Chain A
């Protein structure tokens, strides 16, 4: 089918099926309508395993700290016990 050269592009575009308006597919409309729900779920719900792992990590850190403090305290006490010995009988002290 021949077309006028001057209007060839316009006519070809008008006949192009991709340039004809199509109604929005129903499944796409549903997916678009669901966007707020999908984003809210993603934004506010963390998997419970992640929550428990974070809690366990915190508990581990606290217990390591408590353990370290108790060891340090023991050392301080031990140093206090040996203070007389180190003052008077230590081989490093000069007479």
Chain B
């Protein structure tokens, strides 16, 4: 996350609205895109982004500055995501895993510059990929998504997930291996 504009943490802790606006300008888009990538649902990502920044506003006084502010916000986002997934599976409103046929989640997105056939292929492929990513164990899922999709550094992932660097490297490696195994059949049937 870019932190080129300086946020005055002390003023933020005192409830300065201008600093909070700056915080939103600098970090909200990243948080929104992270949650969108994890949840694959625009509306849920929007709701959770609001929850994240409400928590940030209410708990900023607990921020000790031991990590970057962006890392702290990422950690809150990841925790909110975990909580949300737990609640969602508890309520069993809908299955956590998207079926291959269910591409509703990507309907609101417009893929410009590609033809309808390629667009459909992309939707199907990403639905399959997402289903496979969702089947990964939670830590592998988070480490892989943060690193591969959001481009978060491994060092930052260590702080976000409270793990050692070797553990994060291993999680990303195992996630990739698992995905290759899970998607082997789909690849052979569709891509070769």
Give me the interface of A with B, judged by CB distance under 8 Å. Answer: 1-3, 5, 8-10, 12-13, 15-19, 21-25, 28-29, 31-33, 35-36, 39
* Main SS at interface, chain B: helix
- Quick one: which of B92-144 are within 8 Å of A by CB? 105-106, 109, 111, 118, 121-123, 125-126, 129-130
Quick check: is B21 within 8 A (CB to CB) of the other chain? yes
* A-B contacts at CB below 8 angstroms, number: 88
**Contact residues of A: prevailing secondary structure:** helix
Inter-chain contacts of A13 with B (CB < 8 A): 126, 129, 148-149
Q: Does B77 contact A (CB under 8 A)?
A: no
Given A1-B121, A2-B192, A32-B24, answer yes or no on A19-B29 (Cβ-Cβ < 8 Å).
no
Please state if B24 and A33 are interface contacts (CB–CB under 8 Å).
yes
| A-B pairs, 3 with minimum CB distance | A16-B126, A17-B109, A24-B29
> When the two chains form their complex, are residues B24 and A36 in contact, meaning their CB atoms are under 8 A apart?
no
Q: How far is the CA of A28 from the CA of B52 in the complex (A)?
A: 12
We find that the number of chain B residues with CB closer than 8 angstroms to chain A is 40
Listed A/B pairs (26) with beta-carbon separation below 8 Å: A1-B118, A1-B121, A2-B191, A8-B183, A9-B129, A9-B183, A10-B148, A12-B125, A12-B126, A13-B129, A16-B126, A17-B122, A17-B123, A18-B37, A18-B40, A19-B37, A21-B29, A22-B32, A28-B28, A29-B28, A31-B50, A32-B28, A32-B53, A33-B24, A35-B20, A35-B50
